[in-house]
Amino acid sequence: MLYIRSMIPKSCKAYYYGGLPVKGTRRKGQMWIEGDSFFFNVPEGKGGERIALNIPFGRLEKVFLTQDNYYGADTTLFNLTFRDERGETFTLRFAPVTFIPRRRIALQRRWFDYLASLINSGGSAPPLSTK
């Protein structure tokens, strides 16, 4: 028997590392997929502004990985490029996090693979197989 499930990554905590014209970097927020949009929220605090993004899949343009050694450990950052309503391009830098390193790497890979397949498919969210 063949089982196929939609492999939309679960909501998770993520660190925001910058890329938007708001104050405050390296703050913990929440990211998730709902309907046909990518959501990313960071609460106000520590001198930083609140970030509440709702990016429709059709506005996502590119996702790529970079390494950041600034905080003392190899951190893989997602760079998600999208356009806002006015057509301006932004590259949001963030990293999905979990406490266990092996799970963190798996979580980052899952989000990256999902977003890359979403962008390459032209904005339609395909269900991914579990294999």
What pLDDT band is residue 4 in, cutting at 50, 70 and 90?
very low
pLDDT at 127: 46
User: What is the mean pLDDT of the segment spanning 104-114?
Assistant: 83
The answer on pLDDT for 99 being more than 60 is yes
pLDDT at 118: 84
Mean pLDDT for all residues in the chain? 79
Percent pLDDT > 90 in the chain is 13
CA distances to 26, 81, 84, 97, 111 from 87, in Å: 26, 12, 5, 30, 25
The CA R_g of the chain, rounded to the nearest whole Å, is 15
| E strand or H helix that includes residue 111 | helix 101-120
Per-residue pLDDT of 12-61, as tens digits, reads: 888 888 888 887 778 889 999 998 899 999 988 777 888 899 999 889 99
The answer on pLDDT for 2 being more than 70 is no
pLDDT at 32: 92
The pTM score is 0.76
The domains found in the chain, sorted by start residue, are 12-120 (2.30.29.30)
